[in-house]
Amino acid sequence: MSFTCSEKEGRCEYAEVNVNDMVMGLPTRTRYVRSWTGQRVVIQDYISPTDCRVETIVVDLFTEEVTSVTTDNNPRPADCPVPPLSGPRKARLIDGMTMELRN
């Protein structure tokens, strides 16, 4: 997983290796910086009203810990095909991540 973030532009380019049916892909997506302080960067996808869930990534610049938090979109679309989460789903991302930060 790799992020290249620009504080000035307020966005991050994000690439993650996906392997599906023995085919490897490296899609690149843009995430937007919700906040950037001396301690942490909070990154999120653009949220559409039709999205069922929202993923937010928090990068602690001192500890280098990266946490992904997935929540239901609010308001949640009535035709959402996945069940609601019972609470936020948190995952700590470790090893294999690179991040380039630019002012």
What confidence tens digit (pLDDT) does each residue in 30-59 have?
889 999 998 999 999 888 889 999 999 998
Tell me the three state secondary structure of residue 83. Answer: coil
The full DSSP string for 10-69 is: TEEEEE--EEETTEEE--EEEEEEEEE-SSEEEEEPPPPTT-SEEEEEEEETTT--EEEE
User: Distance from CA of residue 73 to its chain's centroid?
Assistant: 14
pTM: 0.77
What confidence tens digit (pLDDT) does each residue in 67-98 have?
889 999 999 999 999 999 999 999 887 665 66
The answer to whether the beta carbons of residues 75 and 103 sit under 8 Å apart is no
Tell me the three state secondary structure of residue 72. Answer: strand
The closest alpha carbon to 94, from 60, 67, 74, 58, belongs to: 67
State how far the Cα of 89 lies from the Cα of 97, in Å rounded to an integer.
20
